[in-house]
Amino acid sequence: MGVKLVLNGHEVEAHSAPATPLLWVLRDEFGLMGTRFGCGAGLCGACTVHVDGAPARACLLALERLAGRQVRTIEGLGGAHPLQRAWIARQVPQCGYCQSGQLMSAAALLAANRDPSDADITAAMNGNLCRCGTYNRIRAAIKDAAAEMRKGN
């Protein structure tokens, strides 16, 4: 018997070995390629997903720790999220490799705080590395999305 969890709103059962990192379960077992491998040590943030609404590094989470829990990936964020629109408007992505992790960390922030200060954004995004250095665009996009969300969109 596998491990049952809720993945992007759907109950699924994973059959990978219990110690398998969630990152590989998502990619290899469920075909969800949006969550990226970066460092494998939880330092870069490329593999960020939500577990029970909080950002978590999928490369560090063993499947066995996720039984009955809610996991949301970039695919579960939806194509019309205000963050995604702001990311495009601000031309945030350069190489794009880190963007799913950046978006998931930002989404967790805005789910908890729709009017984040610069310090709030820095704290929430700390540990999400961008090789292209688009941090100012990321901050601006988060502020834009927060403003849109406050308006009720």
**pLDDT tens, position by position, 70-112:** 999 999 998 789 999 999 999 999 988 999 999 999 999 999 9
Domains (range + CATH), the chain: 3-75 (3.10.20.30), 78-150 (1.10.150.120)
Mean of the pLDDT values across residues 128-150?
96
> Coil, strand or helix: which one is 55?
strand
Which of the four pLDDT bands, split at 50, 70 and 90, describes residue 116? very high
Tell whether the model's pLDDT for residue 153 goes beyond 70.
no
Q: Six-digit token pair at 126?
A: 């700390």
Q: How far apart are CA 56 and CA 69, in angstroms?
A: 12
Distance CA 59, CA 37 (A): 7
Give the strand order in the sheet containing 48-51: 10-14, 3-7, 70-72, 48-51, 54-57
CA triple 133-135-138, angle to 5 deg: 130
48 within 8 A of 56, measured Cβ to Cβ: yes
Tokens 């963050």 label which residue?
Answer: 83
SS3 48: strand
Which pLDDT belongs to residue 5? 98
CA separation, residue 29 to residues 13, 100, 110 (Å): 10, 19, 30
DSSP-based three-state secondary structure for 110: helix
Residue 36's pLDDT band, with cuts at 50, 70 and 90, is very high
Calculate what percentage of the chain has a pLDDT beyond 90. Answer: 93
